[in-house]
Amino acid sequence: MQIFYVFFKQRFYTIPEILKRIHNQAIKKVVHCSMANLNTIKPYPIRHYIRMMFVISFVVLILDLVISIASISMVKQQSTQYLQDAADLYINRINHDFAYINHFMGWTLANDENLDNMNTYGVNSIPFLKANEKLHLLFAELQRNYGQSYNFFYYLENSEYFLNCAPISISYSDYSEVKKQIITLTRDKGVYEKFYSHWTPIHVNGTSYLINIVPYYNRYLVALISADELIAPLQQINLGANGYASLVDENGVQLSGPAGGDHIPEERHSFLDLFQSHNIVSSDFSNAAFSVHMAIKFGTFEKIMVAQLLIMLLFLIVTSTLSAIIMFFRRNLLVPIQRFSKNLARINEGDEATDFKSSRIMELEQVNAQFKELVSQIKRFKIDRYEQELEKQKIRLDYMKLQIKPHFFLNCLTSMYSMAQMQMYEEIENMALATSRYFRYIFQSGENFVLLENEIEHVRTFLDIQKSRYRDAFSYRIEHPDMITGIAVPPLVIQTFIENAVKYGVSRDRELCITLSVTEQRQENGDHVLIRISDTGPGFSPDVLDALMRGEALEQTGGNRIGIMNTIQRLELLYRDEANITFANDASGARITLSLPKMILNSDTPGEVTNHECIAG
């Protein structure tokens, strides 16, 4: 045997030795790659595996449910088609019976001499009685062929004689009512078009009957059958535990009740309705004003679904047990860690950490206690910063109020100077008194809030000053209920908007009328005071109105619009987001609506309110 050697890596090897060496190296590489993959597997939290288990369980349940529904749907369609065919066969037979009865009664009226004799001779004459007997035998034979449920009558209009021409299966009270209704129907000129070869429902003493009236000159033949008796064969078909068959008229009104009751059973919706066969089969009769309405509800499928649900329930029990074990470890280990992480995230976002539940693990409880102390220190720091910010806002608010007062003072001096130029001395005396009251109120209004009634009286003083100045070019009206007392509002807010209306609305071309109305309104966030200021002036200019509606600051050039912007900023600082100001133009002029939260002024501490918690400063 010859052995071959191969020179490999500075030495000679046999062929088997080389193959063995390559095999060992390949195994080492596979093991190394496997260990590297294990080291690079991404870790997942416990809730990830719980979520995956629930997802797999949900998919399995959905697949089982889809398969069950598909199987039941196939059986349901086959059963429904069978019942539809059975109903169509029965309706075709009834249509054939109706057609033959219509034809028989029409032929009898036109060709049978018995009716001629009965219409010719008197009711109690021998020829009438013999003809009646023969007619009775004729229709009795027809009744034996098509069933005792059919009732036949004739009516002779000349002698006003109505009688059955075959044995009847209805009560005497129903017979009397049927007689009245048929005699009434025959007096209708359209009886031929409405009833001939057209079976129509009528209602007699709470029972629905189907009639067919065949007229021929002054005599009529009538066929009648109860709606319940007509639908009875279909009610014998197995339509399920809650299924029913019923006749309904053209308007959808029920003519016959389901078997065993007078009304269609009320629908009871349940979880099993998803898997039950709920099919409605409707078929129309030919030459009839009614149709068949069948509701097929098979309870057999419920048993199949119960078995399916039991299997799914067992699967759910196993899954829930495993999930409960995992949830136990999650609640005692993972949840405390997650809670601690969320608290850290809240602090990082600027919120307050409130979830300080204790843990059964001692190490976690120690961390929780240290974290509580840290949160307490942060809270104290925030409170100090907040108090400093409130103090800064109060200083800014006081500065704005001081900025408004010179604005009012200069306007009043300008008005009195104009009146002096026009030598209106008496008016100047009145205006001086009003001005003294005006500035006395301003200098006493050092608080953030004053009484609404005092503010209204101050506005009235201001308007009197303007009335003295402009005379017939200016008028005003103040409306408010007497019950508005003790309500707190910021000082000089209303007067600022009134002054703006006078400044931009008074002209010599037309009279300016300013209206101030105060009402109360209940809103979702509490009671509010609505203050509406309207005038008959030119209104806001488009650019100013657009800026006000968007909440943008107005351009304060030349000292104009300082009062309005300061007032808006005051309301924002005092009420934050609870106050609302609406600016608009209507057909008559400008309109301003202030919606302020209703607050009661504290009588013990002037300038402070007792029922409002969001006041800045």
List pLDDT tens digits, range 315-330: 778 777 877 777 777 7
Q: Is residue 350 one of the residues assigned to a domain?
A: no
Query: Region 564-577: what's the mean pLDDT?
Result: 80
pLDDT of residue 422: 81
Tell whether 22 and 147 lie within a shared domain.
no
Q: Which of 94-103, 171-180, 518-527, 554-563 has the lowest mean pLDDT?
A: 554-563
Tell whether 264 and 408 lie within a shared domain.
no
In this predicted structure, the answer to whether residue 121 has a pLDDT above a threshold of 80 is yes
Query: Region 535-554: what's the mean pLDDT?
Result: 82
How would residue 52 be classed by pLDDT, with cut points 50, 70 and 90? confident
Q: Is residue 316 one of the residues assigned to a domain?
A: no
Q: Which long-range contacts (CB under 8 A, 24 or more apart) does 54-62 make?
A: 54/319, 54/323, 57/315, 57/316, 57/319, 60/315, 61/312, 61/315, 61/316
How would residue 217 be classed by pLDDT, with cut points 50, 70 and 90? confident
Tell whether 487 and 538 lie within a shared domain.
yes
Total domains in the fold of the chain? 3
Tell whether 506 and 446 lie within a shared domain.
yes
Q: What CA–CA distance (Å, rounded) separates 599 from 484? A: 11
Q: Is residue 405 one of the residues assigned to a domain?
A: yes
How would residue 429 be classed by pLDDT, with cut points 50, 70 and 90? confident
Q: Compute the mean pLDDT over every residue in the chain, rounded to the nearest whole number.
A: 76
Query: Region 354-380: what's the mean pLDDT?
Result: 70
Q: Which of 42-46, 291-295, 503-507 has the lowest mean pLDDT?
A: 42-46
Tally: H helices and E strands in the chain: 15, 17
Tell whether 134 and 23 lie within a shared domain.
no
Instruction: For residue 530, give the nearest of 584, 451, 487, 593 by alpha carbon.
Output: 593
In this predicted structure, the answer to whether residue 553 has a pLDDT above a threshold of 70 is no
Q: What CA–CA distance (Å, rounded) separates 50 from 300? A: 37
Q: Which of 40-49, 382-391, 400-409 has the lowest mean pLDDT?
A: 400-409
Q: What CA–CA distance (Å, rounded) separates 172 from 163? A: 12
pLDDT of residue 532: 94
In this predicted structure, the answer to whether residue 134 has a pLDDT above a threshold of 80 is yes
Q: Read off the CATH number of the domain in which 410 is found.
A: 3.30.565.10
Query: Region 382-407: what's the mean pLDDT?
Result: 62
Q: What percent of the chain has pLDDT over 90?
A: 5
Q: What CA–CA distance (Å, rounded) separates 44 from 62? A: 26
Q: 511 or 299, which is more confident?
A: 511
Beta bridge partners of 283: 292
Q: Is residue 458 one of the residues assigned to a domain?
A: yes
Q: Which of 124-138, 389-403, 409-423, 528-542 has the lowest mean pLDDT?
A: 389-403
pLDDT, tens digit, 9 for 90 and up, residues 150-177? 999 988 888 888 888 889 888 889 899 9
Pairing type for strands 512-523 and 474-479 reads parallel
pLDDT of residue 393: 66
pTM score above 0.85: no
Domain boundary among 268, 284, 309: 309
pLDDT of residue 39: 52
Q: Is residue 68 one of the residues assigned to a domain?
A: no
* Top-confidence range, 443-447, 487-491, 606-610: 487-491
Helix 227-235 with 46-111: angle, nearest 10 deg: 130
pLDDT, tens digit, 9 for 90 and up, residues 220-235? 889 998 888 888 887 7
In this predicted structure, the answer to whether residue 592 has a pLDDT above a threshold of 50 is yes
Tell whether 81 and 203 lie within a shared domain.
yes
| DSSP-derived secondary structure for 40-52 | TPPP--HHHHHHH
pLDDT of residue 399: 46
pLDDT of residue 616: 41
Q: Is residue 70 one of the residues assigned to a domain?
A: no
Tell whether 391 and 535 lie within a shared domain.
yes
Tell whether 156 and 259 lie within a shared domain.
yes
Tell whether 423 and 285 lie within a shared domain.
no
Domain boundary among 290, 309, 328: 309
Q: What CA–CA distance (Å, rounded) separates 98 from 212? A: 9
Domain boundary among 286, 309, 332: 309
Q: What CA–CA distance (Å, rounded) separates 152 from 157? A: 16
Residue found under tokens 């997802």: 55
Tell whether 86 and 15 lie within a shared domain.
no
244 contacts 294 by C-beta, under 8 angstroms? yes
Q: Is residue 590 one of the residues assigned to a domain?
A: yes
Q: 184 or 71, which is more confident?
A: 184
Tell whether 417 and 519 lie within a shared domain.
yes
Tell whether 407 and 270 lie within a shared domain.
no
Q: Which helix (H) or strand (E) holds 138?
A: helix 126-146
481 contacts 468 by C-beta, under 8 angstroms? no
Range of the domain at 26: 5-39
Q: Is residue 607 one of the residues assigned to a domain?
A: no
